[in-house]
Structure 1
Amino acid sequence: MDEEALGSPLLGPAGFHESPSRRSLWDWLNGPPVPSDDPPRVTNTLLVPLELFPSQLKMRYPYRIRALFLCAYIVIWFMMNYAIMYPHLIRGPHLDDERIVTLSCTGDGYFWRGKNQACGLLGRDCVPERGEEVIIKCPALCDRGWSYAARPVGTEMVKYRQGDSYPCSSAVHGGVLSPFSGGCVKIKFTGVGLSFESKKGPHGTNWSVGFPSFFPSSFVFEPLNESISGCHDPRFIILILNILLGAPVMYLAGGLVGYWTSLVAGFWTILLVLDPPFIVNSDEDTAQLISNGFAKFLPLCFVLHVLWTAGCKRTLTDGSPLAKLLLWYPLFWVGSANVITFDRIPIDRMRIDDIKQMPGSVLAIIVVIPLIIACVALQAFQIWKAGKLIKYAKAYVTIIVGLAVLSTLPNLGLRIHHYMIGMLLVPGTGTRGITAYPLQGLLLGLLLSGVARWDFASVVETEVSLLRGEAGTSSAPPPGFQFNGTHVLWDVPEHPPSNLPGYSLIVNDVEFWVGEDTSFNVERFLKHADVVFFRVALSALHGDDRGDYTRAATIINGTWIPPEDGVS
């Protein structure tokens, strides 16, 4: 019996030929009449041998030989990493008669614990002795030793720039250290500083924050004559080495082997050297760092297995070896190296306040958002060609609705971390077209960098955690205060909190006095400086409880300049 009498899947019932124009809108949205989802085809005569070489190698050598060679290769790869990292991570820099302290770019509060009352009255819990010297080891990338939470420095609220004279950032700003390799430098504490001039630094560090008054602690950099092994940061060496050594595996091995080899190498590269979650200062810290890595790695492996099943398997299994090597693999490392790629774009968080405060943020968003939309549109077209658009649309609409519901939870704010972007969008790259390779690699890299550095952070966070230590978390607003020529005086609140019966006075960003009086004589400060900054808050008489502080009021040569509105 002929086909027309029976009917067919393409023509419909016998005797009825359905025209493509008569397909319903629903059918059209789901995909073309004949879906297609084929891997990229290499037709260039020069590239065809490279495209076929991995399959020819598999046919020539049995599985056991290839597996043995891969194991030996990975062992050699591991030993090369170990040899480079040993002086940095295992042995650490050291001298027989001088201590060496490893710091982050922002100092970890090692010399100065923080703002306001963190260092106690007169800063006595933090101020090193005059003449004390210490050698510090600084990591790479300290040209961006930024404060991501607004910190008061005089009348300024410093955010998204170097602040508080972080030692390692200051060393880069002063041209003593390179932001690419870090290194060791000797600090000498010089006691009270009378004024701190704003200066422009190299490596794009721009102008430092000036402070035209006294401060109880200052330091200078001294020449470091000794040659100390293990001072330079190996992150760029390790990164380049692992990219180069991982490329042959991604090119020659099957999709599953290349997938897991790249992801395992990427995760530990990020966690140990590229963007570690904390600084290693001892053998115990090294053990803790490795423990921290495995605490994240095991659940991450489950997520990566799910993503392999949900999308990556279709893209990488029997896909184009050259597309994996030239598209998937480079973009994977671009995402993994987020600390030196996307973190350099002036976008912190998609919050209105952050966008307003971060220089260049608006322009960056104007450029980045259309690129993201274009990538989404191109991949959506590939999904449509594969006949799966409605299936994916249902899944992502459900996710968006779920996030919208979470955003309404009381006292919580929605926070989409970049690891979540990778985790949620990777399934959407589960096609075989050419666009899937770079997008999938990039998203997996972002997933790794987010988890390795920040763990599986929550999608909803309290408003306090979103402030990242900024003022505004206290329920006790500061009192108003004035100046009468000799004293600063503050208003008595009508209903002060029972746990904050007193007042705290900050002079030049250091807590100077705590008590129950409603005024304080400041003549002694005005005799020694032309400019003095004052802030006040409600305070406990014993302990560290404080309300929010005012912004800084300034007395310049006896002239009172009241504080701006807001808290610090």
Structure 2
Amino acid sequence: MHAGVISDARGGCGMVTLIGEYYSFFPGRGGEDIKSLGFDSHFPMSFTIHPALTGHGQCPQMEMKTFRSLLPTVLLTFGISLLTTSATILWFTSFLTIFIHVGLVSDPPNVAGPSDTILPQLISILFERLLPATFVSAVLFWTCSRSTTLRAIPASGNLEKTILWLGSLWIGALSNFTLESWIPLSRLSAHDLSQQPGAVAALVAIVAVITVTVAYQAYSFWLERRVLPYLALYSFILGGIAVGAIVSISGLGTLELRIHHYVLALLLLPLTSIQTRPALVYQGLLLGLFINGIARWGFDSVIQTAEALRRGDGLFGTSLVPAVDGQPLVYLATEVSELWSIAFKWKEVNDTLAALMPQVGERGREEADKLQGVSVMVNDVERHRKFFAEEALEDQVFRWERDPRVVTTPEYFRFAFLGEDGRSMDYSGVGTWFGNGTWSAGPGFY
């Protein structure tokens, strides 16, 4: 997309060409207004992207692929909604059709493997999640909609019902194209709120909207004299959230409270069990969020460990990084060799822990017991990995060489411990070996 070869709307295809080691990447603005960062050093492997071939062997165009797959499903659900006055038929046909569409087409879960195994994997995951989700959907229907929101809507109201309830349902179910592109907030955990730009402001805005919505719905329930049962229900729910928050704040077992967007939908759906136009909108939107959350991610715990909350190469939150024993030794060209080199030694793990005890506390001591080795990255590419069973940390030496006639750019070094399963923990800050041979350690390197 940045290279302008494909677009978000029409897809497309192109050709990737490996070009080997490459130096100095420049910042720029490309297709879809995507900005790229510059990098003033090198990577061992790089690639370029070109438009598709023309003439013989031309790549097939995939214009509006998402729209073409979405249109029949939307027309099917809208047709059923316009033709039926049965709340049961509307609810379950919409739920099943949209759940299958999300799980297979619009926001399928991540799977890997040969292309001929991907669809079977998606179908397997879909039915694994569909059966329990359908049970939850049935409970929601009987408690929140059957005798309240969707009850006895006459045929003359089918168009209005379709636009308000079903339209909102599709917006929620396609939240990866709608809400997620508008709201910079993916998960309600303290770590994610601190890491995502604009997340706090988005959360404040969402809380304000929810507060106004809840107040209006509470007023509607008060007019129908149904406030007390719902006050009892939400007192119980808020009590459970408070317990989860206390567990998270106390750090008991390194557990954190995580309110998934589908959990938020479940918490708010009882407030839509009233037949008003706003309730139709709220209920459709919340049911769509529930469908999207389960079809895409599956059911998950609301009390999770920090490890379970990590995404991909996200931070572990560890306090320990390997401490360099003194300054690295830099060797410039000599009569024997024209290569420059830099060598690092590390302190013993317990020495590192002792120096950091005021900062890391007992949790740091627990982390130290799980450390199995050390990893070194140069320019964000791992260049060294050795376990303590092979050689103690204080006996290891990492030496890096370069040819000053070829490499005139800075190189960046970061260190990390290896955990119990051999995965690297959080890396240190950056140390820089400049093109002229001088060395500088950045914050958090030692």
Same fold by TM (over 0.5)?
yes
Aligned 8 A contact 2:41 2:379 in 1: yes
Aligned 8 A contact 1:475 1:547 in 2: no
How far apart are 1:271 and its partner, in Å?
A: 0.9
AA aligned to 1:347 is L
Q: Does 1:421 align with 2:264?
A: yes
AA aligned to 2:126 is G
Residue pairs, 1:392-431, within 5 angstroms: 392-409=230-247, 410=252, 411-431=254-274
Residue pairs, 1:193-208, within 5 angstroms: 193-205=22-34, 207-208=35-36
Name 1:470's counterpart in structure 2. Answer: 314
Which of 172, 184, 197 is 2:13 aligned to?
Answer: 184
Structure 1 residues 516-537: Cα deviation after superposition (integer angstroms, max 9, x where no partner): 5454444526551321001123
Aligned 8 A contact 1:479 1:537 in 2: no
* Structure whose residues are more often helix by fraction: 2
- Helix, strand or coil at the partner of 1:550: coil
Q: Does 1:563 align with 2:401?
A: no
Name 2:350's counterpart in structure 1. Answer: 495
> Which one scores higher on RCO, CA 8 angstroms, separation ≥ 6?
1
How far apart are 1:359 and its partner, in Å?
A: 2.7
Q: Does 1:224 align with 2:87?
A: no
The CA distance in 1 between the partners of 2:200 and 2:317, in whole Å, is: 27
Unaligned runs of 5+ in 1: 1-171
The CA distance in 1 between the partners of 2:137 and 2:421, in whole Å, is: 47
Which of 123, 147, 158 is 1:290 aligned to?
Answer: 123
Q: Percent identity at matched positions? A: 33
Name 1:26's counterpart in structure 2. Answer: none
- Helix, strand or coil at the partner of 2:344: strand
The CA distance in 2 between the partners of 1:501 and 1:333, in whole Å, is: 49
When residues 175 and 213 of structure 1 are mapped into structure 2, their CA distance, relative to the original with a 3 A threshold, is: same
- Helix, strand or coil at the partner of 1:321: helix
AA aligned to 2:203 is I
Name 1:376's counterpart in structure 2. Answer: 214
When residues 383 and 412 of structure 1 are mapped into structure 2, their CA distance, relative to the original with a 3 A threshold, is: same
* Structure whose residues are more often strand by fraction: 2
When residues 304 and 359 of structure 1 are mapped into structure 2, their CA distance, relative to the original with a 3 A threshold, is: same
Name 1:316's counterpart in structure 2. Answer: 150
AA aligned to 2:301 is S
TM-score w.r.t. length of structure 2: 0.80
AA aligned to 1:240 is L
When residues 378 and 424 of structure 1 are mapped into structure 2, their CA distance, relative to the original with a 3 A threshold, is: same
TM-score w.r.t. length of structure 1: 0.64
Aligned 8 A contact 1:276 1:453 in 2: yes
The CA distance in 1 between the partners of 2:124 and 2:160, in whole Å, is: 36
AA aligned to 1:303 is V
Structure 1 stretches of 4+ moved >6 Å: none
Residue pairs, 1:328-339, within 5 angstroms: 328-339=165-176
Name 1:554's counterpart in structure 2. Answer: 432
Name 2:163's counterpart in structure 1. Answer: 326
The CA distance in 2 between the partners of 1:357 and 1:498, in whole Å, is: 28
Which of 529, 539, 555 is 2:408 aligned to?
Answer: 529
Aligned 8 A contact 1:196 1:213 in 2: yes
Aligned residues: 394
Name 2:334's counterpart in structure 1. Answer: none
The CA distance in 1 between the partners of 2:111 and 2:166, in whole Å, is: 29
Structure 1 residues 257-309: Cα deviation after superposition (integer angstroms, max 9, x where no partner): 11111111111111111001025752322111111111111111111110111
How far apart are 1:341 and its partner, in Å?
A: 1.0
Aligned 8 A contact 2:111 2:121 in 1: no
Q: Does 1:259 align with 2:87?
A: no
How far apart are 1:174 and its partner, in Å?
A: 1.2
Alpha-carbon RMSD across the aligned residues, in angstroms, is: 2.7
Aligned 8 A contact 1:185 1:223 in 2: yes
Residue pairs, 1:92-171, within 5 angstroms: none
Name 1:355's counterpart in structure 2. Answer: 193
Q: Does 1:451 align with 2:294?
A: yes
Unaligned runs of 5+ in 2: 332-341, 352-367
The CA distance in 2 between the partners of 1:265 and 1:373, in whole Å, is: 32
The CA distance in 1 between the partners of 2:33 and 2:199, in whole Å, is: 17
AA aligned to 2:171 is V
AA aligned to 2:276 is G
How far apart are 1:232 and its partner, in Å?
A: 5.4
